[in-house]
Amino acid sequence: MERVQCLELIYPEIEDKLVVTIMGACAQELYDLGHRENFFYLQHAMGLASSIGLGLANHLPHEKVIVLDGDGSALMNLGTFTTLARYRPRNLLHIIFDNGSLLSTGGFESHTTSGVTDLAAIARGAGIEHAVDVDSPMAFGEAFVEAMERDDLGVIVARVDAVGPDNYGMDFALPENAFRFKRCVQERRAATGWTAPPMPGHTGAA
């Protein structure tokens, strides 16, 4: 199974979800399917995509938040599983594409390559009740649909091949992605009747 197959499967379903993806191949494949204003690409700071997802989900109970993570990034922030389990945001789905490789930095084997380390078992051990491991597009699609219908925190570890896109590049600067994503999130929140709080000390004068 290739990661891009999984992304193609869920692409129509994440049109109205807040999506945070990790760097490199995963970000590029999602972008190449077609950028949307509700997509945030974390092109560095490995491990923190799931933490961003928690910060979003915690304050936006009306939204579904999808985190697209990788084995290399997840291994850099294993503590996130315990934090997610403790606060259990019911509107967060954490998808980890496990290709057993640090693909974007030269394809070095990650710790999951050997088959000894089981990320879904780590998530369950951390206290996340719904953590599954899938290795076919059919199983991935079913797990995704189940997770969307379930009102609870979920983890899907998808075993994928260590392949990525041939070309990399996006037509916006990184802060521009952050600004536009924030605007998108807050406009959706405003539609629920929320108004942004004023900044302390702001008097209106320059």
Partner 1 sequence: MVFTGCRVTQPVRRFGTTGCRASGIARPEPSTHPSRMTVSYENSKAVFDGIKAAGIRSVSALPETWLGLLLQRAEDDPEVDLIQVAKEEEAVGIAAGAYFAGEPHILLMQNHGFFGAMNGIISLAQLYSVPLCMLIAVRGHWGEPYPWHTRGGIVTEGLLQALNIPYHHARDPALVAKEIAEAYTLSQSSLSPVALLLTRDLMEV
- Kindly list the residues in this chain that would bind partner 1 in the complex (CB under 8 A): 20, 40, 42-45, 47-60, 77, 79-80, 82-83, 86-87, 174-175, 177-179, 181-182, 185-186, 189, 194, 196-202
Task: Considering the complex, state which of residue 53 and residue 154 has its C-beta at the smaller distance from partner 1.
Answer: 53
Other CB atoms within 10 A of residue 97 CB: 28
CB of 94 to partner 1, least distance (A): 13
CA 96 – CA 74 distance, rounded (Å): 8
Which of 96, 143 has the CB closer to partner 1?
96
* Identity of residue 45: A
What number of helices (H) and strands (E) belong to the chain? 8, 8
- The nearest distance, CB 8 to partner 1, in angstroms, is 26
E strand residue ranges, the chain: 18-21, 39-41, 65-70, 92-98, 101-102, 108-109, 130-134, 154-159
Judged by beta carbon, residue 1 or residue 46, the one nearer partner 1 is: 46
Q: Of 51 and 160, which has the nearer Cβ to partner 1? A: 51
CB of 186 to partner 1, least distance (A): 5
CB of 19 to partner 1, least distance (A): 12
CB–CB of 40/52 below 8 Å? Answer: yes
